Amino acid sequence: MEENIAKILGVVAVIILGSGLILGEETLREKFLRTKSIVIRWAVYSILDYGLTGLSILLIIIFKQAGSGFAEAFFAMWAFDFISATLLLIICIKSGKDLTLGQEYRRSIGKIFSKSKMVGMTSFFIFALKASIWDGPERMVEYFKNELNTIFKKGLVIFFMTSLQAVFWTGTYSLGYDGIMRFLNNI
């Protein structure tokens, strides 16, 4: 199921980012260079993101094996997500590259919105939902980079979004672990 969700979200992301490139007013050469940059940053971010997802799953397995409850696993997941999101943002700031593509999404959604307010709002809603559950707060922080102009504001967004994600993914991974263990015990 998670794999299918990832594929659907990937297609939606490509459509939103692609629309921004098509609707842009750059020359063909500039579009090619920007596309190349997006692909490279997307690859780097995806590798980091899926690596962190694997570590999150491992973290829940360790806590489940140790007999810990939801609260302990949630707190560990939240701390891990908070540190991961903060480190990813620091990498973006230090490198000067928006690996999260938050600014690209903003540019693309802005261009879509200028053509159709309804499609633009729908695109933003899908982006926000995807960033809240799947991608992570670092992407939302980069999207709202201009508005989140203090460390405190960025920290609040990271705090609340990682809390939301920790509840969702701790529950999801715990249920998955419990289901697999029941299956293995019945073999």
Tell me: the pLDDT tens digits for 33-57?
777 888 888 888 889 888 999 999 9
d(CA 18, CA 163) in angstroms, rounded, equals 31
Which residue reads 């709002």 in tokens? 121
Residue whose tokens read 């633009």: 120
pLDDT tens for residues 54-83? 999 999 999 999 999 999 999 999 999 999
HEC-encoded secondary structure of 31-50: HHHHHHHHHHHHHHHHHHHH
Torsion over CA: 46, 52, 58, 61 (sign): negative
101, 153 Cβ separation under 8 angstroms: no
Domain count, the chain: 1
The per-residue pLDDT for range 108-162, each reduced to its tens digit, is: 899 889 888 998 899 899 999 888 888 889 999 999 999 999 999 999 999 999 9
- Domain holding 112, by residue range, is 2-185
